Structure formats: structure tokens, C-alpha cells
A and B are shown apart, each in its own frame.
Chain A
């Protein structure tokens, strides 16, 4: 009797661990499990200042080496042609729910209000690296394009395929118009290299690394994420069940 209860206490925990995988495999279990994202997003947005700035660091606090992650080189013929010409022919398209669609060269982007910031990049895997990023604020580019009031998300389309799927990401207007959300063309006072997303990548400082889309080709203002990719707002969200809200 005692022995069986003893083993019950001991194995109860392990049974729970195994049970978790069964729960996560059922549609209802998945719905409950995935409801945490909206709860956390809602709580964070309700309890914190939406305009709060991410911590910025001094130059002597930067990581000695800022590692690369995700796609290291898109490697497609189209991207290779752009890179071979040092991105002189590259253009960023700004489209969707905007009054004035734009096609911007690197020189055009450098004419917008700029921001340089030394911030901490947090990967979903757990590591962090501190680097200096520079580029125009996304908000100023969106204002120039005349983003419409019915736009709820900004979608970033990239030049790279990740495991054969086009990489893309999306953020909402709270982050899109945040003053630290920039389109970075420089890292640590150098032009962005191919490993870090040349010629242009997103910095959305209050979210995890996978939101910081690299190799930007187009930006679209949209009312809904449905119909884009598989509708969840990004490569990792569509294919690997990552949270769309990556502020945590």
C-alpha cells in the first residue's frame, strides 16, 4: 500500500510530463496552450508604458563579437546579383495601405530622420548580444508613405528563403511607430554585412531576435495578417509555432 503510494508520488510528476505532450497534440489542448500568448501580450500592454524605450548601452558595454543567426546568406541568384553590385540596384518598396507607395534607394533612406542606438539583441534561444545599430526610423518612412488609418500591421518581406520558405515578419502599429524601431543599414559603425542582413534589416528593440527581419525587400501596411503566408504573421509563427508577440 505504502509502496504503491510512494511510487505514485514519484511517478506522478513524470506521468504529468508525458501527459503534457498528449495534451499539446489535441486541438483543445493546443488552443489552451496557445492562449498564453494573448494573455501575456494583453497583460504586458496593459501594465507597461507602450512608449517605454529599450535600455541603451555605452560603447564599452558592447559584445566583443556580435554573432549571426538564422540565414547567413540568402544565396539566391537575385540576391547575389544585388550583393555583387554592393546593393546599388537594391530598392525598398513601401506598399499596401498607404497614400503614396514608395520605392527607396539606400540614399533615399539616409535622407530620413536617423537614429543610432546601442541595444541588446535577445534571441529566443536565450543568448544576448549588444551592438550599435543605425538607420532611419520606420515611423518616418511610414509617415512619408502616408500610412492609412485602417492599417493595423506592418509586414516585412525578406530576400531570403529559410528552409525553402520565404522569410517574413510583422509587427503592429505600437511597435511600428516606436522611436527605437528603425530600418538599420549599419552595425557597429559599418555597413551591415551579409551575415547580419545586408543591406537593410528591422530593429524592433522590445521583441526577440526572430522579429528583426533581415534582407528587407518590401514593407506593406495591411489591415489583417490573413492571406499572407499561412496567416500567422511570420515565418516562425507559420512554420514552427513561435508566438507572434515576441516581447517575452
Chain B
């Protein structure tokens, strides 16, 4: 049962599309404002404490105004953006996860099967990617294994870690939920992991955008706006 190339198929559900765009805005605002917050003290430490007389494992350069929110130094406004959009990110993810369990999006589209992880299949998918073929002609609607693995990593590892490490930086949350600090190894470790997860999400976003362009930006963007996707030649 092949779907012939050129056919328009419904690829993304409304909840997926809604969350995608809400989350895209949230991620951009959170990264921009997060880098401004980092500018206030661009040193990262491991453990519970860490300040100017302690040894950072990483000191970042000052992040330039074209990438930060706001563009000129203002920790207070950056925090306002960050803490408001943290709610959008957190509750958006929660709603999307609940909807995707209910409508079986996760089960149907993101379940990684053992055979997909065999070296032969992985190598086959690497070569397909190299040839810029990102879908299986026999089942064009399905995600390829690298899509699945990266979406699973972002949805179930990076975004939850981002939220937990964010909560662990709140002194009131630390008092109420001390297990956060046990889990993450202290507030400054949580801050470091928060930064590393943000870097990983930025890396994902760059690759994601590059692949959207390579796969055909009009078709891909339309499918995430309207749901309809044309099976490529």
C-alpha cells in the first residue's frame, strides 16, 4: 500500500501544530532572555555553591545584544521574560504530553522499535539522509529513526531536565522540594545542567531548521501550519 508521490496527506494533528508554534516562540524567548541572565554572572560551577572566589568550570564570553532579550543589559526585564515564558514552556509541554498520550501520537509516531536500532537499519538511514531522502517511500508519513530518537530525546529528556533544573534554581522550590537538589547535585550544578540542556536544544533547533530547508521548507512549514504534507517525489 504505497502512497504515491505528490499525494497530499494529513501529517500533523492540531495539538502537535499548536504546541510546535507556541513552543517555538517560547524557546526563542527563553534562549534570548536566558543568555541575558547569564551575562549577569557568566561563570558556571558544579556543586551547591559557586561565586567569584570559587573555581568555575566554564566562563562564557559576554553574549552580544543581537541574540539577547533585551538587547541592552537589563537583568530584571530578562528575568521577567524568562520566568513568564518558562510557564508557557512548562504548561505547554504538559498539555501537549497529555494530548499526545490521549490521541496516541506518542505511541503511533514516536515508539522506537528494536529493529529500527539494528546497525543495518541505522546505516541504511544514514545513507538515506546523506542522499537527502528523509522518508520511507513505503510509509512516508512515518518519522525516520533519527527523527524519532531526536524528538524522544528533546521531549522526554532535554525539556523535562530544563524544567527541573530551572525549578532547582528557585530558592523557594528548593525549600519545598529538596529532592530537586538531591537529583541534580546542588543549585550550581542545576544551573550548569540548565545551560548544557539549553545548548543541546539550540543545537537541535539548528539541525531541525537545516533539515526543514533540505526537506523542502514550503512543504514542511505548510504541514506544520495546516497539517497537510505532500509526499515528495
Which A residues have a C-beta under 8 Å from some C-beta of B?
Answer: 1-2, 5-6, 9-10, 13-14, 16-18, 20-21, 24, 32-37, 39-40, 43-44, 47-49, 52-55, 57, 61, 63-65, 67, 120, 122-130, 205-208, 236, 240-243, 247-248
Contact = CB atoms under 8 A, between A and B. Distances in A.
A206 B76 contact: no
B201 to A, nearest CB: 13
A48 B41 CA distance: 29
A63 B177 CA distance: 23
B155 interface: no
B70 A242 contact: no
By size class, the interface of chain B is 35 or more
Nearest to A119: B171
B177 to A, nearest CB: 7
Given A120-B187, A129-B51, A53 B213 contact: no
Contacts of B172: 44, 48, 206-207, 247-248
A39 B187 contact: no
15 contacts: A9-B217, A20-B69, A21-B69, A36-B83, A55-B181, A63-B53, A67-B53, A123-B51, A127-B43, A128-B188, A240-B76, A241-B77, A243-B80, A248-B83, A248-B173
Contact of A6 (B66, B169, B213): B213
Contacts of B170: 44, 247-248
Q: Considering the complex of A and B, which 9 residue pairs feature the smallest CB-CB distances, nearest first?
A: A36-B84, A247-B172, A48-B176, A65-B53, A127-B51, A241-B76, A126-B41, A125-B40, A248-B170
A9 B87 contact: no
Given A17-B68, A20-B32, A248-B170, 11 more contacts: A9-B209, A36-B84, A37-B80, A44-B170, A55-B174, A63-B49, A120-B48, A120-B49, A122-B171, A123-B51, A243-B83
Contacts of B92: none
A123 B41 contact: yes
Contact of B71 (A6, A18, A40): A18
Nearest to A126: B41
B80 A33 contact: yes
Given A9-B209, A36-B84, A207-B172, A130 B75 contact: no
Interface string B169-205: 1111111111001000001100100000000000000
Interface string B79-96: 111011001000000000
Contacts of B118: none
Contacts of A242: 76, 79
Interface centre among A48, A55, A57, A124 (most CB of B within 10 A): A55
A9 B66 CA distance: 17
B162 interface: no
Contacts of A24: 70, 77, 80-81
Nearest to A57: B48
A128 B50 contact: yes
A35 B81 CA distance: 10
A126 B37 contact: yes
Interface in B145-185: 169-178, 181
Given A5-B221, A67-B53, A44 B41 contact: no
B52 A14 contact: no
B22 interface: no
B84 A53 contact: no
B48 to A, nearest CB: 6
A40 B80 CA distance: 11
Contact of A206 (B43, B77, B171): B171
